Structure 1
């Protein structure tokens, strides 16, 4: 595919970026990706999150260079990114294997014309009715004991499967001090709320001083017991997880962070270091994965992902069925695929590696937990089960077991 000279250049650049280390995927970067993402970049710059963020790939010219588009194709992609923006950090772009058109990293970040051309029945911009559950702008109150605060509309990388794609062009969140204080006031007046989930966008892209102020104000509310942050930064911009940021976040414990790894190839040395820094300051990590067709919709991939996460002390938490969001239909599987994967994991991997498979119900119905049932029959004297190996086991239920002790 490439000349020997190009291959030598790629090898040198991969070495500079820390790519191709032992136990890591060997990437085949295309010359266009090299030119766009890392023209003569030093290791110091590459490791600087500010350089990564300010040098994100996000315009039609860069996309045309990456995909080698014709002028007519470029016109179609221009329409696409005007509706659904894109931005990719050089780091995350460097994880793509350009020799594989079905590369799972590529599918998650490179715009795809199916986003505007492929639509399944029932798809909506806001299928979970988040806007209908916003008592104040940016705050979603769907469950009695917790709220979700969308504190920014900015992400380091705009995932093509995002369930809030509607907000990319028409933001519903604001990072102004005034808007954040409105959310704080609402939580202070809602005494049943014990947990605040800070989301976006990605909260770790916002001004750290403002985020610190917001978390501190929430922590002062007596009935708020737990804070949780949802972020993809450890995956797409791991160098942002600095010691300074970790120390700031640790001041607001008990604080949990939910990461968003979707594929084992995302568990790189850089991502591992980011997670270790958070863990060292006492911030527990869980992971939310979305089941995506062509990315991770197989037992082997999900098992490898969950095992890899456990190795770096990130607990698999949720495996989400892909929501019926307009612009993401090409990623959707049927619900049976997720059940098949969970069934395959059960009994073959430890409980700490088992994510909860959930379907977020339309109209704000909330999460429905989907678990395989091993109970075949519940009788008067016994229960009949089928094990993960398919064996039938009878469990005695003696009369009086539920009565008072003698």
Structure 2
């Protein structure tokens, strides 16, 4: 964990330069990491690859937790009838392209198809990558739809990664949304502070200040992602008055261990990122090798409870298929119910009677 968090760097490669230097071909990656280029070719024909130099520098162990998130794996091509490209039914709930209106008071607005790194566990593997470019006209249509829906109070910007938009495009979009009277809240879902923290520049932070209330949720999946650069990016956003939350995905071979998850949550709190959601991995085609049992997630949540501050305990969530929405999953602490009392187990396993 970094001891001294500095201000945002003003020298070194820009985020655009780092992004331009990303590894996107099997040949380039096989020159750097011990991987089979033929396997990479087979996988990347279906699911694109992008690993920027910053995140690649963090990959120190073959098949380790960071490797698994960014290096293509032949298991992505394993078929499973239980897994689908869009099991959450985002497309059927899209009244206009790139926008999902599932809940009455909020919309999910996918304003970019690009990411600083293409995560191998991505829930939108079907649509991320260079082929699905979101245009200004697409964004304008989404804004017009939001303007027409007076019940929409919150807009969640997602993608891809919305922070792959240029500052000018992001400012234009935030300004449009900020002028809609019934929109009370804008939320940004991003991975750039963990995958390419150089994107969080002084200019970007200054621009965000002008559009309060603005919330940012960040995907962090492993403690090794919390580097000095990532901590500095998050601290700069928090110093600007922007509330930060984390959205972690429970991933086999990455963070499906109670102690690793607890270490991650503690480190997030130190950089002022409030653990928000622990997502059970969705049943997405190409991600079977990342999925755990729900009992694994419940065991992790039971381990966190009582061993760390409630501030650091996320909601464990599953997203129901066919557009059913998110629901929380909780460990069952109640052993027995009778008319006058409950028999309850605490985090150590000790049992107590509690009067009703």
> Fold match, TM over 0.5?
yes
CA displacement 1:140-193 (0-9 Å, x = unmatched): 01111110000010111100000000003696661x222112111111121221
Cα contact 1:150–1:173 (8 A) shared by 2: no
Q: What residue in structure 2 maps to residue 59 of structure 1? A: 25
| 1:303-342 map, 5 Å | 303-342=262-301
Give the superposition deviation at 1:390.
2.0
Distance in 2 (alpha carbons) for counterparts of 1:67 and 1:209 = 36
Q: Which has the higher contact order (CA 8 A, sep 6+)?
A: 2
Which residue in 2 is equivalent to 1:111?
A: 72
TM-score (norm 2): 0.94
Equivalent residues of 1:262, 1:290 under 8 A apart: yes
**Mapping of residues 158-173 of structure 1, within 5 Å:** 158-168=118-128
Gaps of at least 5 residues in structure 1 are 1-20, 25-42, 398-406
Cross-structure match for 2:116: 156
- Structure 2 portions without partners, runs of 5+: none
CA contact under 8 A between 1:173 and 1:200: conserved in structure 2?
no
For the Cα contact (< 8 Å) 1:138–1:173, is it kept in 2? Answer: no
Structure 1 residue 47: Cα displacement:
4.0
* 68 and 298 in structure 1: CA distance in 2 versus 1, 3 angstrom threshold: closer
Residue 178 of structure 2 corresponds to: 219
- TM-aligned CA deviation for residue 392 of structure 1: 2.3
Structure 2 distance, partners of 1:380, 1:390, is 23
- The answer to whether the Cα contact below 8 Å between 2:88 and 2:324 also exists between their aligned partners in 1 is yes
Q: Any residues of structure 2 matched to 1:246-265 within 5 Å, and which?
A: 246-265=205-224
SS where residue 344 of structure 2 aligns? strand
Which residue in 1 is equivalent to 2:225? 266
User: Aligned runs of 1:5-404 on 2, under 5 Å?
Assistant: 46-68=12-34, 73-97=36-60, 100-116=61-77, 118-168=78-128, 174=134, 176-397=135-356
Deviations 1:201-237 (A, max 9, x none): 1111112211111111111111111100000000111
Q: How far did residue 45 of structure 1 move? A: 7.0
Confirm or deny: 8 A CA contact 1:316 1:353 kept in the other structure. yes
User: Structure 1 residue 23: deviation in Å?
Assistant: 7.6
Change (3 A) 1:369 1:173: farther
Q: 1:171 and 1:48, CA in 2 relative to 1: closer, same or farther beyond 3 A?
A: closer
Q: State the structure with more CA Rg.
A: 1
3-state SS of paired residue (1:159): coil
Residues 114, 133 of structure 2: 8 Å contact kept: no
Give the TM-score taking structure 1 as reference length. 0.83
CA apart distance, 1:113: 1.2
In the alignment, the residues of structure 1 paired with residue 2 and residue 233 of structure 2 have an alpha-carbon distance, to the nearest angstrom, of 19
Aligned to 2:187, the other structure's residue is in SS state strand
CA distance in 2, matches of 1:150, 1:91: 25
The answer to whether the 8 A contact 1:45-1:51 is kept is: no
Match of 1:229, SS?
A: strand
